[in-house]
Structure 1
Amino acid sequence: MIRNSRRRTEPLDHAELARLLPAPADPRLAADRQDLLEEHLMSEIHQSDQVPATSPVRRPLRRTVLVVASVAAVAALAVAVSVGSPADTSTVAAPQLVKAPVVQIEEGSTVQLASTVHAIAAAATAHTTPQPGPGQFIYIKSRVSFMASSLNADTGESATWVQPLHDREVWKSPDGTKGWLDEPGYQSKGGITLDNDEPRKQLSYQWLAAQPADPDALLKAVYSTVSGSRDHDQQAFNEIGSIIREQLVPSALAASLYEAVGRIPGVVVVEHAQDASGRDGIALARLDPQTGERSEWIFDRESHQYLGSRGVQVKEFNGVKPGTVVERTSIVTRAVVDAKNQRPGAGQATS
């Protein structure tokens, strides 16, 4: 199931970078993570009979707790949602959820923040980023796992479950109008289209490449988009995070984004954090004061290249205990390929 992006698509006036990023889509998730999880919703519903006995319902669309009266009510809900929708026989049942990992919470610090940000930005500047040409596609392969939690109203028991780690491959045209997603076990066999009839300049490579690489201007643009009662600093942190995931960011802009992040209040350095592939690195992180989740962007300790992300519950929220890893990602490959559905091979540029 694919949903149209909620991101705005108006072109950006370079004199005022007011539309650099979309407004947050959900009080629990950044916009990019909500988009990822929306794609899993229907496949999760179709395999509701696989839910563990202590977990009466899964809600991959949002990381919130849904209280239900009984397991029978869940079955009724799944049937109700499915009514009127033809069965997709090409969709395979997603693997059964597993218990979420729990880690020891390491306290973050601002002592090394400036030097760490500087090192990450310098590494981004020095890193050669391949430039996609006309007709080519940006290819990104990652390992991902997201969370769903539940509360059984009959027993009062709560549980936190996550998807098993699995591969996710995305192809995107530089202008954002064409694309493909292949996520075995969570999408139709062979993948699904991400084509969009209208140009999606928001977060496309071409759109990003046209932005001035100035940390102050970028940060001002980010804050101009935040609204509502949620913590504005957290919104700004999340929105910058949505750029560096599943996109090829030009080197100069990536460096400016990291410099901008270092100026957001509440951002800290976590000395040890593991991505979805088990790689230990150093993280730029921020604790959401409303949800108690700390979002961590993990970088290689030596090269300072981006490895992936992790979400760790630091304070209990909606029954999710401290130390619970609520999401994990890791970048396996970033590359430029010559066609949609093509994987990197000899002679093709990788990042």
Structure 2
Amino acid sequence: MIRTPWRRREKPLDHAELRRLLPAPGDPELSSDRLRGLEEHLMTEIRNRTPDTAPDIAPDPLAGPPPAGAPAGDRASRPGRRSGRRPVLVGVAAALALAAAGVAALAGGPGGSGGSENPGRVAAPPAGAVPAPVVQVVRGSTAGLAGAVADISGAAARAELPEPGPGQFLYIRSEVSGLVSWEGSDGKNRSYVDKIHPREVWMSPDGAKGWLLEPHGKGTGRDGITLDDPEGGERTLNSPSHAYLKTLPTDPSLLLEKIYDETRGMGNGPDQQAFGTIGDLLREQVVPPKLAAGLYRAAARIPGVVLVDDSVDAAGRHGIAIARTDESDGSRTEWIFDRETFAYLGERTVQTRDAEGIRAGTVRGHTAVTGRAVVDALKQRPAGSAQGGDRAGAPAAPSAGT
């Protein structure tokens, strides 16, 4: 059999001819299954990549050596594998929206640049994104940290929190916003965040059933997504349930030792990982009062933790903050508390130095917990609460310590 030899075309194909030869681009709209898959993938990436350090690192304000599970020499030498932090809370919806926008751009959809010089580059920020706010970075200090932690942990221990019964669900409502990575058609990076929007979570006490509603962009869609765990996976510090939290020790030393031990090798270092793990436990759970008090005292023993005199949550509420800066990228995570009641209000992450194309003072993300309750059914809201798509006009401060 004689084969016709391959010959190079004398002229390159022009764009019109390429369009005739290539199949028509598919629908850039992602299915709910694909979005869920993307979310799971993003969550895996988040668990493996999360930092926390500071130019304001200072010695441990509360006496007591590091836990046995985390000798000082070992902390500096461990390789950085980022942790199971769940800033799902702030960033997953934005990341999913950006991923979908990227698909549309590559397919020549409305999000595409339309130019041949920068194919696939998004010419405008993702829908719903706004310029990231820039604030003055207030330097943290260990002065006053011990007293503030004593007040915060005392308020947490006295808190009267809802306790779910059989068949009931924990409900947490927040206002959230997270960083959106965006590169303009000129090739320059700019810092954008999604607009502050509501996020609602329902979880059964054992963590087997749950629902997430964050109808911003393509985060979860209007109806939300399931958080069910039909296989009943093992509960850990990075994948807790309310029932699991009730099994943890409340003594600060034992808590910190367990945290260092279970997160060994994760994150940007043991100290930052420990701080991030505690923050995750506090953010979107109903933590038993004595455990919350122990977690705050444990956090104060982590090297580099400081007190910041003023911070602002996503609802605009000012308060004091327990904070730690990630040495690797200069982002400082701040847990914000009411000045009078010492109730946990929310969290903010601020860039403390120019790094990774993000200027100092940029607010990378912030949250505000506006409600915690126990309800009788999945997707049920407490009486008097705002609907999922509405912004609460005056968010009520959550119970102290959570």
Segment drifting more, 36-45 vs 172-181:
36-45
- Counterparts of 1:228-243 in structure 2 under 5 Å? 230-243=268-281
**What's the CA shift string for 1:172-225, capped at 9, x where partnerless?**
000001001111123222211111112253310000012121110110111112
TM-score, normalised by the number of residues in structure 1: 0.78
Aligned-pair distance for 1:73? 2.7
| Whole-Å separation in 2 of the counterparts to 1:40 and 1:316 | 22
The runs of 4+ residues in structure 1 deviating greater than 4 Å are 3-7, 24-27
Report what 2:199 is aligned to.
168
Q: Of 218, 223, 232, which residue of structure 2 is paired with 1:199?
A: 232
Aligned-pair distance for 1:70? 5.7
| Whole-Å separation in 2 of the counterparts to 1:294 and 1:98 | 21
Q: Give the letter aligned to residue 310 of structure 1.
A: R
**What's the CA shift string for 1:239-294, capped at 9, x where partnerless?**
11110011000000000000000100110000000000000000000011111000
Matched, 1:257 2:289: no
| Whole-Å separation in 1 of the counterparts to 2:283 and 2:169 | 16
Aligned-pair distance for 1:226? 2.7
Verify the 8 A CA contact 1:231 1:289 in the aligned structure 2: no
Q: Classify the secondary structure of the residue corresponding to 1:331.
A: strand
Q: Give the RMSD, CA atoms, in angstroms.
A: 2.8
Aligned-pair distance for 1:310? 0.2
Report what 1:270 is aligned to.
308
| Whole-Å separation in 2 of the counterparts to 1:47 and 1:156 | 17
Matched, 1:131 2:131: no
Matched, 1:45 2:99: yes
Verify the 8 A CA contact 1:95 1:164 in the aligned structure 2: no
Q: Give the letter aligned to residue 308 of structure 2.
A: V
Report what 1:110 is aligned to.
142
Q: Give the total of aligned pairs.
A: 299
Q: Of 154, 158, 162, which residue of structure 1 is paired with 2:189?
A: 158
Segment drifting more, 134-143 vs 195-204:
195-204
Q: Classify the secondary structure of the residue corresponding to 1:110.
A: coil
Matched, 1:296 2:350: no
Q: Classify the secondary structure of the residue corresponding to 1:199.
A: coil
| Whole-Å separation in 2 of the counterparts to 1:37 and 1:113 | 29
Aligned-pair distance for 1:95? 4.0
Report what 2:9 is aligned to.
none
Aligned-pair distance for 1:316? 1.2
Verify the 8 A CA contact 1:25 1:31 in the aligned structure 2: no
Aligned-pair distance for 1:25? 10
In structure 2, the CA distance between the partners of 1:327 and 1:339, relative to structure 1 (3 Å rule), is same
**What's the CA shift string for 1:28-57, capped at 9, x where partnerless?**
x8621157534554433334569xxxxx99
| Whole-Å separation in 1 of the counterparts to 2:85 and 2:300 | 21
Aligned-pair distance for 1:329? 0.2
Report what 1:146 is aligned to.
178
Matched, 1:245 2:280: no
In structure 2, the CA distance between the partners of 1:96 and 1:36, relative to structure 1 (3 Å rule), is closer
Aligned-pair distance for 1:129? 1.2
Structure 1 unaligned blocks of 5 or more: 8-16, 19-23, 51-55, 58-68, 76-93
Matched, 1:312 2:350: yes
TM-score, normalised by the number of residues in structure 2: 0.68
Percent identity over paired residues: 43
Q: Classify the secondary structure of the residue corresponding to 1:72.
A: coil
| Whole-Å separation in 2 of the counterparts to 1:228 and 1:250 | 26
Q: Classify the secondary structure of the residue corresponding to 1:330.
A: strand
Report what 1:178 is aligned to.
209
**What's the CA shift string for 1:41-86, capped at 9, x where partnerless?**
4433334569xxxxx99xxxxxxxxxxx9642337xxxxxxxxxxx
Report what 2:87 is aligned to.
33
Segment drifting more, 32-41 vs 172-181:
32-41
Q: Classify the secondary structure of the residue corresponding to 1:73.
A: coil
Report what 2:323 is aligned to.
285
Report what 1:120 is aligned to.
152
